Structure 1
Amino acid sequence: MAIAPQTPGELSISLCRGDDYSTLVDLSISIVGYTWSAAIYSLSTGTTLVYPTISVVNASAGTFTVSITDTQAATLPPGTLGIRIDWTAPGDMKRRAFEGVCEVLR
């Protein structure tokens, strides 16, 4: 029997409160036609604190950036939070693409 897991990839980040943050993600698959959403949230309550921006760099090559502005980062409490990135592929197929922790330093 074949095993074909569809669990989210791990994406953990670390940033300082009040700093701009951006990282490039390379999936090495075409993401043409995909839409994205992201959230940084409280691990204890599940409340969303910030919605990072997802910007596709090269859809054919599968690259995009995850960015948080200094203003957004200033609102985050120091400590360990959760981060998740979801995609909707062509044909309305939804998936949690990445999940991890966001370490916020003072």
Structure 2
Amino acid sequence: MNKNKSSKTNEIIFEDTKPKGESMVHLLNQIKGFVNYFSGVLKSIAENYQQLETQERESNPRRAEFTFDLALSTVIEEFGLDTKYKNFLIDNILSAREKPTKTKTEKLNLIMI
């Protein structure tokens, strides 16, 4: 990267030689791995929290239903993140939850075809 002080810009220059140290792809993979791991931890905590609230609701039926979305928002709120980061994590977790998983039978059927 070249810093051009006169135009106050940074220029990215691609070279044929491999850079020394870790590459940008490696860094991005590490960030992606952290976000996925952190999202998984948040999901697990939110599921546990929802389960506890559901158990409390059984003893007091007047309490409102406590959804996973509400549990997740409450857990993420404790980290004091900016709204854009909260929304990113919530979208990341909810979209991963909504992906249908294939059963072993469905996987075997695809292999046999």
In terms of fraction of residues, the more helix-rich structure is 2
TM-score of the alignment, normalized to the shorter chain, above 0.5: no
TM range (shorter): under 0.3
User: Greater relative contact order (Cα 8 A, min sep 6): structure 1 or 2?
Assistant: 1
In terms of fraction of residues, the more strand-rich structure is 1
The normalised TM-score by structure 1 is: 0.24
